[in-house]
Structure 1
Amino acid sequence: MSSLQATNRLKQISQILDPELSSTGILPLTKFSLEARPDHPYKICVLGGGSWGTTITKIIAENCLARPRLFRHHVQMYVYEEKINGENLTDIINTRRENVKYLPGVKLPRNIVANPDILKTVEGADLIVFNFPHQHLTSILKQLKGHVPHTTRGISCLKGLEVNKDGCKLLSSHISDELGIVCGALSGANLAPEIAKEKWSETTIAYKLPEDYRGPGKDIDEVILKAVFHRPYFHVNIIQDVAGVSVAGALKNVVALAVGFVEGLGWGDNAKSAIMRVGLLEIVKFSETFFPESVSETFTKESAGVADLITTCLGGRNVKVGKYMAETGADAHEAERALLNGQSSQGIVTITEVHELLSNVGKLHEYPLFAATYKITFGSESIENLPNLLSKV
């Protein structure tokens, strides 16, 4: 389905859902659009109540309010329960309409329901959005296994890779394998605090229609996904390259960690650009090597590619962690604890996994930036030696 076709179909669906549009004759009803009428409002839920998880839930909840015949009113958001000044975080979110720990100062729509019970959250869901630190994925999938019908669809906002002795797989593929559902990926130049304040940005969703696709109005497809996620301030482009979007989203955090190292030493923008150049080369090489089905254009044309890399290297949490390590001499986990308010630096987790994979397959020497970032992160190499380690790239 082309972008133009998707846009036209979204307009047709919008007209079905808003009777006032039909009376104007602006978008005449067609046989195709009538067939697209959903046979039931789709239930969307989100797993994850951090800053990005809460922001994505806000976006979805706004669209559920705007399209009541297409989506169920309430959006369940699974939140790992914790106490804030003696109160449950879920109770605070549901009563004050604010995630005071992870997204303070942002008012949330009233149709968001923070739920500490993951099985109740996903019950009856047509689409599950996975949005939490990826190191928790295995335990969450164990809880969900056997409780999610195969007709449910998924979108992974997770950043990372699943590495084992046999190689690595995409987190969306890991979700599909464990739960028996089709799962796409969402990634882009998306800093949660900016999007939560409704500052304009773009994102990329990668999704392939499943073999058991039940047809328009009966299943999640590209048009429904655009209706779920697209907002005036959050523009969505949908492609099919799940591998490219996922790899770019995972490895940009490693590069950002290295950018933080050189920023912490005060080396300036030229040095940061050098890191980003080498980082982009290694991201593309990694994707071509381990996921040959990926599309090279994803890394240059999509928000999930070089745009996300630049944004993450300009101000994400991984840069902050790397900078703090360089400035203070703290180790990686000390920096996380000092800076991230209980959240994690995905760059630290991902570089550990990438180093394990490249070591297992004997290719570590082909990725000098990734190798150097691992050594610096865990104290076996100095940041000052980074230019020498990259001199032949």
Structure 2
Amino acid sequence: MYRVISTELPIILRNLKPSRAAVINQANNYATEATVEVKPYKLHRLDNGPSTTVTVTRDQAKQYYTQLQTIRRIETSAGNLYKEKIIRGFCHLYSGQEACAVGMRAAMRDVDNIISAYRVHGWTYLMGVSPLGVLAELTGNQSGCARGKGGSMHMYAPNFYGGNGIVGAQVPLGAGVALACKYKGNGGMCLALYGDGAANQGQVFEAYNMAYLMKLPCIFVCENNGYGMGTSAERASCNTDYYTRGDALPGIWVDGMDVLAVRSATEFAIEYVNNEGPLVMEVCTYRYSGHSMSDPGTSYRTREEIQEVRQKRDPITSFKDRCIELGLMTAEEIKEIDSKVRKEVDAATAAAKADKEIPLEELWTDVYSKNLEPKIRDIIGYTLQHKVLGKGGVNK
């Protein structure tokens, strides 16, 4: 049934599916919140799972859409900067996977943490770094979140323990962050993200085992985008149901192209790991670009496959259409958000390109958050005076 605060149901909502309901603002004729059914979850060693009935408010819808679109624009800009040879080295784009990060971030609390692999430009933004802080880091300039010293694969922010370049290495580190939460007793947890390509790493299973024995508040998140570098999941893994691969650990499969489904699953997982111990969550998603910018991404999959996902499962288009259908946002409001995001990211791109590198003497600042010795090691001994530029060097 619809829950409507109005004498008449507005035209925009008359054709809603029976599984969707909306609360209508009588004066302004828009939905203040809506309830939808998301795709059923798959469960492993769980009697009950996340709710498939999800409620989203108008303000939340605007926030999620803005975040989704901002990440997409940042990645588009990063790709262009790489093609212009302004970004050098490695550059791994998140385009297509935005709903995974936005959904998980929506469920996180102030005490929660996240650590991931190197596809983290979007996560860096979601954890409080401005688009300029992300893009200037990519260009290696001083306005970057790590003053240009980290680049694409090493970005950090408060409660965000960065992207890690060693495949799978972030998983035991994430278990360690969860151990710190338990040790401090602050009620926090850690999301440890890895891809399907890293899922066969031995250290992943070691982390599962230790986390289970110690009942650590850790959500092991496999972002299954279908391909580990250029190898499909089916060719790389004897068991592609990654949510079941924790053995004794319970698991959840979630549609990673649906931001609301991911949010609901993460909310459930946070409560579970804080009370019962670790859990594995597989978010089924897709990346539009190659593994990195040096990979065209079409030698091991067809262009038709990519185009089909863009047309039928794109996380931004799907969420936009849902919001319009439910009356949470109008097409005009969507255009306004798109325009605002485009202008912000374009301005950040221009500023990142015009920015300067740090001076040579700043290379050894902020090596430690708290240096216990007056100097740090040079190539010939402890000769460099350690300096602290700022807390973590994070540029908001």
Q: TM-score, normalised by structure 1?
A: 0.27
Greater relative contact order structure (CA < 8 Å, 6+ sep):
2
Q: TM-score, normalised by structure 2?
A: 0.27
